[in-house]
């Protein structure tokens, strides 16, 4: 399961974003992932469902289809505000940082309206420095990774004796999901390839960590609170400063207002779409009227959308390079063995093969795997085929056991 962590300073809107992202009117009731932990929830990424181009009516099970858009679940974590020196264990720093370690990708929320000071306390709009806020948080995480490397120095050295530096480091950093190719790239990009690990200074270790971070945790910066006037200038500054990364202008509060109103039946709103439509019989309180008017005026008519759903989609599909793949058992009807049409969608990492898909569906399916068929063309796929976005795949297995 793809895991996304929401990070940022206090009061930037992380929890508002978490609440909005985890609220979908067509939530998936059969979805096995449930948790009682606070701050862990299910968010959704979406793209055009293949049901449209295949001309079929679908019966989604592990995902949902709203107006021709397929929404697939991802795990989302709301990491409470990191404070300065979290990496040395200040506050609950280390605990929060280890949550970040579990994530495949990060959403870094920043208050683009500049309404918080350097410590995350509410201040007058325009007084804060969002560019610095992003750097502060990144610095905490880089210091924390550095600390892990320094703390495990002996272990890396021992490991290195029987393998390579990149493998030894990757093994030590496997808890934060670093893999050997990423470590190797970080060694090259930080210019440390030729420097023996044994002689690394703390500064060189920090350099390595800061180059490694974006490789192991693809990050999207959310310039939040764009509904406030003071945000406009800062959004420009953020985009300029982080021109190498992605910055999305968003309003988490507006998204939350719309999803809550949709849940209450007051309007029709499909997350990610550019419009909302009032329900015909909706009776709004003056307060609800004001809130929706504000969203229309300050967000939808100005920016076209709240930006939240696009941000999640961009992070997962573009930065993490995950593909939506539909496994089916009957290629003629695109259904499972119970006549459910296009029941499931799986989020597969870049480079995954049909066998990886089989494994993701069920270990038994992988054990009995023979070959895969492109259900749309009916063609048998080569052994080394890598799955593409929106593939519909039938997996052939041996014996009586069949693909679902």
Q: Which residues of 86-109 are buried (b: 16+ CB within 10 A; e: fewer)?
A: bbeeeeebeebbebbbebbbbbbb
**Interface mask toward Mg ion for 15-54; x: CB under 5 A:** x---------------------------------------
User: Of 19 and 335, which has the nearer Cβ to Mg ion?
Assistant: 19
Give least dist CB 98 to ligand GDP, A: 19
Q: Which residue among 224, 335, 340, 368 contacts ligand GDP (CB under 6 A)?
A: 224
Is 315 in contact with 247 (CB distance < 8 Å)? no
Q: Which two tokens stand for residue 6?
A: 């929401």
DSSP per-residue letters across 108-168 = EEEETT--B-TTS-B--TT-S-HHHHHHHHHHHHHHHHHHHHHHTHHHHHHHHHHS-HHHH
Q: Is 357 in the site for ligand GDP (CB under 6 A)?
A: no
Residue 397 binding: pick among Mg ion, ligand GDP, none (C-beta 5-8 Å cut-off by kind)? none
Residues 334 and 395: their CA atoms lie apart, in Å, by 12
Helices then strands, each counted (H, E), the chain:
15, 14
Identify which range of 11-19, 190-198, 215-223, 323-331 contacts ligand GDP by CB under 6 A: 11-19
User: Of 186 and 252, which has the nearer Cβ to ligand GDP?
Assistant: 252
User: Of 135 and 215, which has the nearer Cβ to ligand GDP?
Assistant: 135
Residue 12 binding: pick among Mg ion, ligand GDP, none (C-beta 5-8 Å cut-off by kind)? ligand GDP
Q: At what angle do helices 165-172 and 130-151 cross, to 10 degrees?
A: 110
Is 82 in contact with 97 (CB distance < 8 Å)? yes
User: Of 257 and 361, which has the nearer Cβ to ligand GDP?
Assistant: 257
Q: Is 81 in the site for ligand GDP (CB under 6 A)?
A: yes
Q: Residue 181: in which H helix or E strand, if any?
A: helix 180-189
Residue 251 binding: pick among Mg ion, ligand GDP, none (C-beta 5-8 Å cut-off by kind)? ligand GDP
User: Of 227 and 336, which has the nearer Cβ to ligand GDP?
Assistant: 227
Q: What is the distance, to the nearest Å, from the Cα of residue 252 to the centroid of all Cα atoms in its chain?
A: 15
Q: Is 228 in the site for ligand GDP (CB under 6 A)?
A: yes
Nearest C-alpha neighbor of 248 from the set 118, 117, 109, 134: 109
Identify which range of 13-21, 60-68, 199-207, 322-330 contacts Mg ion by CB under 5 A: 13-21
Binding site for Mg ion (CB under 5 A): 14-15
Binding site for ligand GDP (CB under 6 A): 8, 10-16, 81, 224-225, 227-228, 251-254
């Amino acid at each position: 399961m793809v895991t996304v962590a929401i990070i940022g300073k206090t009061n930037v809107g992380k929890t508002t974003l978490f609440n909005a992202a985890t609220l979908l009117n067509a939530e998936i009731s059969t979805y096995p992932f449930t948790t009682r932990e606070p701050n862990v929830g299910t968010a959704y990424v979406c793209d055009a469902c293949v049901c449209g181009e295949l001309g079929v009516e679908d019966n989604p099970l592990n995902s949902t289809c709203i107006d021709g858009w397929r929404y697939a679940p991802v795990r989302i974590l709301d990491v409470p505000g990191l404070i300065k020196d979290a990496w040395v264990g200040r506050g609950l720093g280390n605990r929060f940082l280890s949550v970040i370690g579990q994530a495949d990708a990060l959403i870094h929320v920043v208050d683009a309206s500049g309404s918080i000071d350097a410590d995350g306390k509410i201040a007058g709009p325009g007084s804060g420095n969002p560019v610095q806020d992003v750097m502060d948080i990144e610095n905490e995480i880089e210091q924390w990774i550095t600390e892990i490397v320094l703390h495990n120095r002996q272990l890396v050295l021992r490991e290195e004796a029987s393998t390579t530096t990149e493998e030894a480091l990757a093994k030590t950093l496997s808890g934060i999901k670093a893999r050997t190719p990423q470590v190797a790239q970080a060694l090259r990009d930080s210019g440390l390839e030729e420097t023996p690990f044994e002689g690394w200074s703390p500064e060189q270790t920090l350099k390595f960590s800061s180059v490694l971070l974006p490789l192991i945790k693809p990050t999207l910066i959310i310039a939040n609170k764009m509904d406030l006037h003071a945000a406009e200038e800062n959004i420009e500054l953020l985009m300029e400063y982080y021109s190498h990364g992605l910055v999305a202008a968003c309003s988490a509060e507006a998204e939350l207002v719309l999803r809550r109103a949709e849940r209450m039946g007051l309007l029709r709103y499909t997350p990610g779409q550019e419009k909302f439509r009032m329900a015909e019989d909706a009776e709004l309180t003056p307060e609800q009227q004001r809130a929706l008017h504000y969203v229309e005026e300050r967000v939808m008519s100005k920016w076209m959308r709240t930006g939240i759903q696009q941000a999640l989609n961009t992070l997962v599909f573009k930065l993490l390079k995950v593909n939506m793949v539909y496994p089916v058992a009957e290629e003629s009807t695109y259904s499972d063995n119970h006549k459910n049409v296009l029941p499931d969608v799986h989020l597969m990492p870049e480079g995954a093969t049909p066998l990886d898909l089989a494994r993701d569906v069920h270990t038994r399916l992988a054990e009995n795997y023979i070959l895969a068929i492109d259900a749309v063309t009916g063609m048998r796929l080569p052994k080394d085929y890598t799955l593409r976005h929106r593939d519909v795949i039938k997996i052939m297995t041996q014996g009586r056991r069949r693909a679902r």
